[in-house]
Each structure stands twice: as C-alpha cells, then as structure tokens.
Structure 1
C-alpha cells in the first residue's frame, strides 16, 4: 500500500497543478490589499478541502447534483477573474476591510491552492493510486505551500516593484490560459 514511487508521482502531479510558485504574484498582490496573509490558516483550510475531496469528493458534489465538470468550470471562471485582475490592473476581488482574515481562505486557500483543478486532480488520482499515497503527496505539497506563503514578504523585497509588476502580468496571462484550458476541456470534452 505505502509506495514511495506513487507518493513521488502524486506529489509531482499535485505540485504542477497547485503551482504555488506561479501563484506568488497573486499572493503578494492580495497581501498588499489586505495587509496580511494567514499562512497557517490558508494551508490548513486548503489541506482540509483536499483531504475531504480525497475521501468524499464525488459524493459531496453528487449531493448538490454537480458533476466534476461543472465544478471545474466554476473554478475556471474564478481563476479567469484573478488573471484578468492581474493583467488589466482592475480590482474584482474587493475584500471587506473588517474581515481581512477571510481573504486567507478565499481566494488563497480556495481556489488558488485547493481550486477546482487541484480537487478534480485528486479525484482522478484515486483511479490510479492508493489513497494513503495520495494523502502523503497532499501533505508534502502543503508543507511547500506553507513555506512559500510564509516567504512572500522576503520574495517581495527581493523582486522589487518592477519585478513584481512583470511577474504579475506574466502569471496573469498564465492564469487566463489555465482558466481557458479548464473551461474548454470541461465544456467541449473530446
């Protein structure tokens, strides 16, 4: 059951889907708006969502009459909005100044870390890998997510304003592309 090769495969797949390194400009942008990102809280909530989906994802969606494709399309729309905000310099995400703690949950824990792509990937991994190995892969990715979230101040200082602006626009385009791909794959399946 415990298989190091499976854990490595799952970890690498989730790492590429979560793309926490690619989310750095988004996280820094949100932190500039809200003042502080609660790294531990965002990581914990994302982890709970991922484990919940690992154990009961299809059942949860089924309760609401939602298919995996519907869930993925909704996530794609949120990712598209975040990408558009980064590229165009508009503000779609307007956190309540009295509830900045919630910004660590939406949009950081969900949909950036544990978004539709991550959760649907977890559901599909269940067909190929043992559940315990997927859970270990999730925990390893969450450790990396936590480190990156904790390092955003340092990264912001190292990159500077110009570096952040360039990264923000580049990753905005990447986010838009990911959103279009998720949308296209789930609306027009081959």
Structure 2
C-alpha cells in the first residue's frame, strides 16, 4: 500500500509539472498541415524522448551535471531562452525557426520538432528533471526507486495518448482557430520562458 502511494505521488507530481495537456496547443501549432501518420510518429518520438530524458536524469542526473560542471539552473536559463525565441515567432503568426528551418528536409524537420521544443524543454524540462531527481533521492529502497521509474514510464505514455487526441481538437478549431491559438500560446510561452530564466537566475545566485 505504501509502495502504491509512492507511485501515485510520483506520477501526480510528474504529470502536474510536465503538463502534457498544456502542450497540446503547441503540438497543434507545430504540426499544423502535416499528415496524420506523421503526427502520430511525432507523438511517439515525443514519448520516447521524454521517457529517455527523465530516465537518464533519474539514474545519473547528478553525475551528469557534476561531470560537465553544469546545473539544473543553467538548464532552466538555456531552456527559457529557447522557448522565448520560439514564442516571438508564434506571436507573429510564423512557424518558429527554432522548430523548423527552410534549409532542412521534411524528415529532419519532423524529427527536430518532436525532440525540440516539444519533448525538451516544454514537457521534460528543468522542473520535471528536478522532480525526478528529488524523488529518486528521497526513495531509500530499491522498490520505491522502481516506483519512481514506473511513474516516469506512465507519464510518458499519458503524454503520447494526450497528443494523439490533439487531431480531434484541430478539426473542431479549424484554420482560424489554430492561428488564434498559436498567438495565444505564444504569449503564454513567452511568460513561461521568462519565468524559467528568472527561476534559473534565482537558483544560480541563491536569491
């Protein structure tokens, strides 16, 4: 019973921080115009990237930061800058150059969209990475640590299922709705990116 509660707490915390539901408008905007088959492939790529990212930091996150002399705060600042650049393009109604460039082929573009910015840093960002590392550190037994890893898997699968439902949302919104939603999401992303940078600076300087 205690182990199950540990799993539920870890899953709830990760789901709230990764917020895959909040990623749906971004997913719709960056995949607008692509085929359903490609959209499913992008959703799978996002799921795999989120899973691998969170599992990696859960297992060796502290060692990675120590080895490269970096920190979660630095990751937060870098992720915030990337999102802000993307938000500016979305506010102007353009496809962000962070998501796609004119020189890239379609296949490469789709792969890039899935990894950056959807999976990283929008879903598996600094907050999710920090949460995973903290839960692993607070789990004394192997069984409890396994529950945290299982929570990561479940959140990744949940993200995939939520992104798959985005197609139905797009059909109801239409082209005009997508354009409006893109600009609205751009404003939200701008505020999120600024907050990520602020949090990173506060953490780095102990403010």
- For the criterion TM > 0.5, the same-fold answer is yes
Q: Give the CA deviation at 1:120.
A: 2.4
User: Is the 8 Å Cα contact of residues 50 and 114 (structure 1) preserved in structure 2?
Assistant: yes
Partner of 1:102: 111
Q: TM-score, with normalisation over the residues of structure 2?
A: 0.80
Query: Which stretch of the first structure deviates more once superposed, 18-27 or 8-17?
Result: 8-17
Mapping 1:43-54, distance limit 5 Å: 43-54=47-58
| Structure 1 gap ranges (5+) | none
Distance 2:135 2:87 in 1: 27
SS in 2 for 1:8: helix
TM superposition outliers: structure 1 runs of 4+ over 6 Å? none
Distance 2:136 2:178 in 1: 37
Distance 2:76 2:145 in 1: 22
Work out whether 1:148 is the aligned partner of 2:162. Answer: yes
SS in 2 for 1:32: coil
Q: Assess, with a 3 A threshold, how the Cα gap between structure 1 residues 156 and 115 changes in structure 2: closer, same or farther.
A: same
Distance 1:30 1:16 in 2: 23
| Structure 2 gap ranges (5+) | none
Q: Assess, with a 3 A threshold, how the Cα gap between structure 1 residues 40 and 177 changes in structure 2: closer, same or farther.
A: same
Partner of 1:73: 77
Q: TM-score, with normalisation over the residues of structure 1?
A: 0.86
Distance 1:34 1:117 in 2: 30
Distance 1:18 1:97 in 2: 29
Work out whether 1:41 is the aligned partner of 2:50. Answer: no
State which structure, 1 or 2, has the greater radius of gyration over its C-alpha atoms: 2
Q: Give the CA deviation at 1:50.
A: 0.7
CA RMSD of aligned residues (A): 2.3
Of the three residues 80, 87, 91, the one matched with 1:83 is 87
Residues matched between the structures, number:
190
Q: Give the CA deviation at 1:3.
A: 1.9
